[in-house]
Structure 1
Amino acid sequence: MKKVTLILALIGMITLQSCVKEEVIREVPVTQPDNDTISEVFEYSNVDFNNGNNYNVFLDFPYQIYNSDMVLVYHLYDVVNGQDVWRLMPQTYYDGNLEIDYNFDFTTFNANVILGSNYALNTLPSVWTQNQVFRAVVIPASFGNRMANPVDFNDYKAVIDYYGINDNNVMKISK
């Protein structure tokens, strides 16, 4: 009896292994463009910090971005051999004993750039407060997960290359 049970079990296992479940993959037609996966850059020039704006400047986006989007703000620090040198904010600069801090926060409508210092803000040299240039890089949520992206956000060129942004098509906004 044990041999018959063993043979039936063996036949059952062989029979069940030959069963294949076929999966049906359905393609869903895309009826509208995928607007949430476009990375963009907005450049703001002639940005001035002063007592009147409490050393905070709002960089208004041309349109509302998604709540889930990530925004990186870069400060134009220098131009070397015709190449712009962009620094990711927050950024601290030192000029002798002077410490200058640029920081930001953002909403779906704008980025607020905040100037700070270890000295009275109204005594800062105009090179730090007048005619500043910033770039806001909007990265859609699907790309924004830092753990999934092998890009160094400190490197502006690496960011625009990684996200396929044409640096010649930056939207320029004068303050």
Structure 2
Amino acid sequence: MIYQSEQQARQGVKSHTHAHRGKFLERVIDIANTKYRNAGLADIRKIPTPVQIKHDTGREVIGRKEKAEWVDYAGVCNGRAVVFDAKETRGKNFPLKNLHDHQYELLKSWYQKGAISFLLVYFKELDKYYRLPFKPLCAAWEEAKNGGAKSIPIATFEAEACEVKSMDGYTLHYLLPYL
């Protein structure tokens, strides 16, 4: 069954560990990406966290996560590169500390080269998803670097981002304007 919200998916679950933060959003995006691929509209893939293998016995692999240098997702849609990071937040703002420098720099670099570059943010308390284009993200990032607000308020998302919804059989139809 496909759930429309995290609240529906978590009914009956009493605790939510830090380790599983973002898993609901990733699952929803991965289902949408499979539908985009199957329809021949886009090919967007989750970028796995790199792991350094320390020991391999043949039956068991021991390793550690390396420092990630990428965003969550990358691919192609209608001949254009697509890169984005997916984030969940509580409350009515998106703390910029949730986006790492290397993620911002990658989004910026690809945007400057013509890629579709954005943040996909899930506001848990509001149960709303927004696709924030790189331009308003850049403006907020630069403002924060210069001593301004360290978060992006929901009002900015409502004014400059696009609310993304479940529609046409997609769990989250986030690529709609690019198709």
Structure 1 length-normalised TM: 0.23
Higher gyration radius (CA)? 1
Specify which structure has the higher proportion of strand.
1
Structure 2 length-normalised TM: 0.23
Bigger relative contact order (CA 8 A; separation at least 6): 1
Specify which structure has the higher proportion of helix.
2
